[in-house]
């Protein structure tokens, strides 16, 4: 990315040329383009995909004065304007070098949102996994207390579009990925609360090294100051360096204090890997105004999140779990290690080249069968074969893997979708892949008696 510059305020965008580079798959791109057009900017949208692949985005932007450049990013696009870069485009991409060469100012929609509404109090959460749960629990607590709040960021949609009309007393609860934090430009003192869930191995296909990946996440701390609160796990890889980089109050989170033990006793989930995430959500919400006295009634009513260890309706004796958000091996490994009955695992997808030793060992010790697909599944099967694991089956598509797994379930089994690889070999995103799994489960068991959770 180019060096930081003063981002325009919403009123300054009228008549300004802005290029939205890449629409993404979760609505952030077209939401940003829609907001920019509403503010009177001269908007151009460029995406590598063709019109037929962008039906949702084109419908959302129909009738707006937007120029389209689809199927490529020609050099003629770049004329020194403001360019809003989709997080999926890495900073090393040649197209960004071309834009900078032509005098363009590069930013992202999260930075635009923060520049537009720097006064909104915010909690920002990052980490390798557990981000969505932490953010969702914190937002739930604030909502239960009647405190206006918005849950946004990596969960989808455009934060820039969302913040434009929010009342000044709204709290922002944001989940931010390394793709979003590595180029983040935040106002001084932002965020009021930062939270790290954990640091592990992911996205090395983009960041190249583990230290680069962790450093991109630490960018979240760059604009914090002495008045900020930094929530960090009690221990774990990289957490000491993270805590040392914090500029304000640092709170290490673990079940070591009587207060934290009382908080954890109220949580609707008891998995040990969720301890620091649960505590981060609670302490962050309290900092943003949630009354601690309301915790006893508010925390147990958290409804959970789709595709995150989500239990699905199932016949008696069978457990169905959708953990489709697991796009790297670590959350699958942890889930298998804490299963209380034999697991039939559905895994595989686009291979990011991450280590599979811990995952394969967990499969060997905890899975009665593994149904695999995609390039990642093919590599995982080879690792399992070297271990002497005899119960893995490789399938040509995710759909055939899921159908085979569901149809061969037996009472006493847990069927777990926890792909461990990204979805981009066959699907638009991880949600589409998980929805396919859920649909297959519904179709298979729709006439089964005694369906329950």
> Residue 174 is part of a domain; what is its CATH number?
3.40.1190.10
Q: Give the pLDDT band of residue 1 (cuts 50, 70, 90).
A: very low
Q: Residues near 51 by Cβ (< 8 Å), separated by ≥ 6?
A: 58, 68, 70
Which stretch of 70-74, 83-87, 272-276, 285-289 has the lowest confidence by average pLDDT?
Answer: 272-276
Which stretch of 113-122, 221-230, 297-306 has the lowest confidence by average pLDDT?
Answer: 297-306
427-to-24, 324, 422 alpha-carbon distances in Å: 13, 12, 9
The answer, yes or no, to whether residue 154 has pLDDT greater than 90, is no
The mean pLDDT of 88-115, rounded to a whole number, is 95
The answer, yes or no, to whether residue 316 has pLDDT greater than 80, is yes
Tell me the average pLDDT of the chain: 93
- The answer to whether position 4 is within a domain reads no
Question: Could you read off the pLDDT of 8-29 as tens digits, one per residue?
Answer: 999 999 999 999 999 987 789 9
Name the region of 354 (left: φ>0; alpha: ψ -120 to 50; beta: rest): beta
Give the end of a domain, one of 270, 301, 332.
301
- The answer to whether position 5 is within a domain reads no
Are 171 and 260 found together in one domain?
Answer: yes
- The answer to whether position 450 is within a domain reads no
- The domain spanning residue 84 has which CATH number? 3.40.50.720
The mean pLDDT of 363-386, rounded to a whole number, is 98
84-to-43, 47, 161, 398 alpha-carbon distances in Å: 10, 12, 13, 34
Are 90 and 158 found together in one domain?
Answer: no
Residue 450: per-residue pLDDT? 61
Are 24 and 121 found together in one domain?
Answer: no
- The answer to whether position 452 is within a domain reads no
Q: Residues near 99 by Cβ (< 8 Å), separated by ≥ 6?
A: 21, 78, 83, 106
Q: Give the pLDDT band of residue 207 (cuts 50, 70, 90).
A: confident
Q: Give the range of the structural domain holding residue 271, as residue numbers without chain letter.
A: 111-301
What six digits make up the tokens of 118?
């720097």
What six digits make up the tokens of 233?
């796990």
Rg (CA), the chain: 22
- The answer to whether position 272 is within a domain reads yes
The mean pLDDT of 252-261, rounded to a whole number, is 92
Are 58 and 185 found together in one domain?
Answer: no
- The answer to whether position 213 is within a domain reads yes
Are 417 and 404 found together in one domain?
Answer: yes
The mean pLDDT of 166-184, rounded to a whole number, is 95
The mean pLDDT of 33-38, rounded to a whole number, is 97
The mean pLDDT of 179-196, rounded to a whole number, is 96
Residue 163: per-residue pLDDT? 97
The answer, yes or no, to whether residue 451 has pLDDT greater than 80, is no
Q: Please give the full DSSP string across 43-71, using - where no structure is assigned.
A: EEEEESS-GGG-HHHHHHTTTS-EEEEES
Give the end of a domain, one of 259, 277, 301.
301
- The answer to whether position 134 is within a domain reads yes
Residue 401: per-residue pLDDT? 98
Are 262 and 355 found together in one domain?
Answer: no
Residue 256: per-residue pLDDT? 87
- The answer to whether position 65 is within a domain reads yes
Query: Global pTM?
Result: 0.82
* Count of domains observed in the chain: 3
The mean pLDDT of 112-128, rounded to a whole number, is 96
3-class DSSP state for residue 193?
A: strand
3-class DSSP state for residue 131?
A: helix
Are 152 and 294 found together in one domain?
Answer: yes
Residue 25: per-residue pLDDT? 79
Are 120 and 93 found together in one domain?
Answer: no
Are 345 and 292 found together in one domain?
Answer: no
- The domain spanning residue 380 has which CATH number? 3.90.190.20
- Helices 398-407 and 430-445, packing angle to 10 deg: 30
Are 253 and 362 found together in one domain?
Answer: no
Residue 2: per-residue pLDDT? 46
Are 362 and 281 found together in one domain?
Answer: no
Give the end of a domain, one of 107, 126, 149.
107
Question: Could you read off the pLDDT of 40-69 as tens digits, one per residue?
Answer: 999 999 999 999 999 999 999 999 999 999
Q: What is the rounded CA–CA span in Å between residue 149 and residue 170?
A: 5
The answer, yes or no, to whether residue 272 has pLDDT greater than 90, is no
What six digits make up the tokens of 68?
């389209």
The answer, yes or no, to whether residue 453 has pLDDT greater than 70, is no
Question: Residue 434: enclosing H or E segment and its boundaries?
Answer: helix 430-445
Q: Give the pLDDT band of residue 440 (cuts 50, 70, 90).
A: very high
Q: What is the rounded CA–CA span in Å between residue 21 and residue 28?
A: 11
Are 33 and 96 found together in one domain?
Answer: yes
Residue 4: per-residue pLDDT? 59
């Amino acid at each position: 990315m180019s060096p930081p510059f003063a981002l325009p305020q919403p009123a300054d965008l009228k008549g300004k040329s802005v290029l939205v580079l890449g629409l993404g798959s979760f609505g952030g791109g077209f939401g940003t383009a829609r907001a920019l057009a509403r503010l009177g900017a001269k908007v151009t949208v460029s995406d590598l995909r063709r019109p037929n692949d962008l039906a949702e985005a084109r419908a959302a932007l129909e009738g707006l004065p937007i120029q389209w450049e689809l199927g490529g990013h020609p050099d003629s696009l770049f004329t020194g304007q403001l360019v809003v870069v989709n997080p999926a485009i890495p900073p090393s991409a040649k197209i960004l070098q071309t834009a900078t060469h032509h005098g363009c100012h590069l930013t992202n929609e999260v930075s635009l949102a923060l520049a537009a509404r720097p006064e909104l109090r915010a909690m920002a959460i990052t980490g390798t996994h557990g981000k969505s749960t932490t953010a969702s629990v914190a937002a739930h607590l604030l909502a239960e207390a009647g405190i206006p709040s918005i849950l946004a960021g990596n969960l989808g949609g455009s934060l820039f579009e969302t913040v434009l009309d929010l009342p000044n007393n709204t709290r922002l609860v944001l989940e931010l990925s390394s793709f979003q934090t590595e180029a983040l430009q935040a106002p001084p003192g932002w965020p009021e609360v930062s939270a790290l869930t954990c640091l592990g191995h992911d996205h090395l296909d983009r960041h190249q090294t583990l230290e680069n990946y962790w450093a991109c996440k630490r960018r979240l701390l760059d604009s914090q100051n002495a008045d900020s609160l930094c929530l960090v796990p009690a221990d774990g890889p990289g957490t000491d360096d993270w805590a040392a980089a914090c500029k304000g109050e640092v709170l290490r989170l673990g079940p070591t204090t009587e207060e934290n033990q009382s908080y954890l006793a109220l949580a609707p989930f008891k998995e040990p890997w969720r301890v620091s995430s649960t505590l981060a959500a609670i302490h962050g919400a309290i900092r943003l105004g949630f009354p601690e006295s309301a915790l006893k009634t508010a925390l147990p009513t958290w409804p959970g999140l789709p595709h995150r260890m989500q239990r699905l309706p199932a016949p008696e004796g069978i457990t169905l779990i959708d953990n489709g958000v697991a796009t790297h091996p670590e959350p699958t490994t942890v889930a298998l290690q804490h299963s209380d009955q034999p697991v039939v695992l559905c895994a595989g997808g686009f291979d990011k080249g991450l280590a599979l030793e811990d995952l394969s060992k967990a499969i060997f010790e905890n899975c009665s069968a593994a149904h695999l697909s995609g390039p990642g599944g093919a590599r995982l099967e080879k690792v399992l074969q070297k271990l002497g694991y005899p119960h893995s089956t490789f399938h040509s598509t995710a759909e055939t893997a899921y159908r085979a797994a569901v149809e061969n379930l037996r009472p006493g089994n847990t069927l777990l979708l926890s792909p461990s690889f990204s979805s981009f070999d066959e699907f638009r995103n991880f949600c589409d892949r998980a929805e396919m799994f859920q649909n297959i489960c519904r179709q298979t068991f729709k006439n089964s008696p005694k369906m329950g959770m």
